[in-house]
Amino acid sequence: MSFINYSSREINCKIVYYGPGLCGKTTNLQYIYANTNQQAKGKMISLATETERTLFFDFLPLSLGEIRGFKTRFHLYTVPGQVFYDASRKLILKGVDGVVFVADSQIERTEANVESVENLRTNLGEQGYDLDKIPYVIQYNKRDLPNAAPLDELQNLLNPKGVPHFEAVAPKGEGVYETLKAIAKLILTELKKGT
Amino acid sequence: MQPQMVMYDEEFQQISAVCERLAREANAKIVFLVDKNGQLIASVGATENLDTTSLASLTAGNIAATGGLAKLIGEKEFSILFHEGEKDNLHISIIGGRVILVVIFDSRSSLGLVRLRVKKASDELNKIFDGLMKKVQVPGAGSPFAEITDDDIDNLFSE
């Protein structure tokens, strides 16, 4: 849940990047970290294994500017994508305000994408959230690869509700900021409703 | 689902005062409060060269992970964690099941003293947070964002 601090006039929100192993969640954060100016970002933390696979989470605090005198801060988290880290994934979803699902566009990863979305729905449910009701966007990553599945196919499979979606090539930054902006907007719109 | 966390100036002053007294009475270097989602609520002491945002996020991750461990062995949670370093030590405790109190101290203090002072401060903080939660649930205490427009949101992203 967002944290509204009237004392320091700040609002803090939590965004979680979810998706199957090696889909590019950490790469999204790394690109944002590398391309955001110094004043707007904090230190990026990666709790990873020696082979740079996410073990627990990556964390990146960002400030986006002010709305009506309130500083808006977003805390970006990734989950470990590998199937056997499910216990850790559940923990990171606690208190989430919005979710970005990063799908791996490669045909070979179709099943992993579907499994991961189902896993996301289940784990959110355990925390009392409904994927159909919270701010949620989908990013189709690795669009530059020759074995990328057609967009229509991915949409049919992963996005039956038609939430906002973006095509991306995360290491080059294509679609990365667009995705972030979309989820941040949805979260702020949700706050406006005052739920 | 956890309730929306809101902080007002009045409670923030009270919380800071309790933390400051705790730091003084426990001879601690730093005292800070974090909510379970990793948001920093308050910090006092020698925090100038410390990345408190990261500290808050990692503390919450730590509590979440040990909470997961606790459940696996049939415990509700581990309410106190202690990390001992060469110079500095971390005493982490959960207050009222919702916020995390962290005390950083060195050899000028002791675990026993910190535990004693933390216990007293916890009771006081718990009362403040109880009051805060009641205040938040009062109808009309709506979000300050109720009146923002789509333009306000768009402006945030126009560089």
What is the rounded average pLDDT of the residues A135-153? 97
What is the 8-class DSSP label of residue A41? Answer: B
Q: Give Cα B61 to chain centroid, integer Å.
A: 13
Using CA coordinates, name the residue in chain B closest to A63.
Answer: B156
Superfamily of domain B9-156: Dynein light chain 2a, cytoplasmic (3.30.450.30)
Interface test with B, best of A59, A66, A190 (most B CBs within 10 A): A59
Provide the mean pLDDT of chain A: 94
Query: Residue A47 has which token pair?
Result: 């709790």
Helix (H) or strand (E) holding A166: strand A165-167
**Chain A CB within 8 Å of residue B74 CB:** no
Contacts of residue B142 in chain A, CB cutoff 8 Å?
194
Using an 8 Å Cβ cutoff, are A15 and A97 in contact? yes
| pLDDT of A1 above 80 | no
H helices of chain A, where?
25-34, 86-92, 110-126, 151-158, 176-193
CB contact (8 A) between residue A12 and residue B156: no
Using an 8 Å Cβ cutoff, are B133 and B126 in contact? no
Using CA coordinates, name the residue in chain B closest to A185.
Answer: B153
Using CA coordinates, name the residue in chain B closest to A66.
Answer: B156
**Chain B CB within 8 Å of residue A67 CB:** yes
Predicted pLDDT at A67: 87
B78 vs B59: CA distance, rounded Å = 14
Predicted pLDDT at A85: 93
What 3-state DSSP class applies to A127? Answer: coil
A33 vs B79: CA distance, rounded Å = 34
Predicted pLDDT at B143: 65
What is the 8-class DSSP label of residue A169? Answer: B
Domain boundaries defined on chain B: 9-156
Contacts of residue B154 in chain A, CB cutoff 8 Å?
185
- Residue range A21-56, pLDDT digits in tens: 999 999 999 999 999 999 899 999 999 998 889 999
How confident is the prediction along chain B (159 residues), in pLDDT tens digits per residue?
566 788 999 999 999 999 999 999 999 999 999 999 899 999 999 999 899 999 999 999 999 999 999 999 999 999 999 999 999 999 999 998 889 999 999 999 999 999 999 999 999 999 999 999 888 776 555 566 777 777 887 788 765
Query: Residue B48 has which token pair?
Result: 């100038």
Q: How far is B7 from chain A (nearest CA, A)?
A: 5
From the list B64, B63, B126, the residue with the least C-alpha distance to B91 is B63
**Chain B CB within 8 Å of residue A191 CB:** yes
What 3-state DSSP class applies to B19? Answer: helix
Using an 8 Å Cβ cutoff, are A2 and A62 in contact? no
B38 vs B54: CA distance, rounded Å = 9
Split into its structural domains, chain A has a count of: 1
Interface test with A, best of B10, B36, B98, B156 (most A CBs within 10 A): B156
As a whole-number percent, the residues of chain A with pLDDT over 90 amount to: 84
Domain that holds residue A52: 3-193
Q: How far is A68 from chain B (nearest CA, A)?
A: 7
User: Tokens 């989602």 label which residue?
Assistant: B37
Q: What is the ipTM of this complex?
A: 0.85
Predicted pLDDT at B3: 65
CB contact (8 A) between residue B65 and residue A91: yes
**Chain A CB within 8 Å of residue B67 CB:** yes
A100 vs A110: CA distance, rounded Å = 17
**Chain A from 71 to 110: CB within 8 A of any B CB:** 72, 75, 87-88, 90-92, 94-95
Using an 8 Å Cβ cutoff, are A4 and B138 in contact? no
CB contact (8 A) between residue B68 and residue A87: yes
pLDDT bracket for residue A58 (50, 70, 90): very high
Predicted pLDDT at A176: 97
Predicted pLDDT at B149: 78
**Chain A CB within 8 Å of residue B6 CB:** yes
Looking at residue A62, which CATH number applies to its domain? 3.40.50.300
CB contact (8 A) between residue B145 and residue A67: yes
Predicted pLDDT at B133: 86
Predicted pLDDT at A152: 97
Using an 8 Å Cβ cutoff, are A39 and A100 in contact? no
Predicted pLDDT at A178: 95
Distances (CA, A) of B3 to A61, A95, A118, A195, B136: 22, 9, 25, 10, 9
Residues ≥6 apart with Cβ < 8 Å to A161: A132
Predicted pLDDT at A187: 94
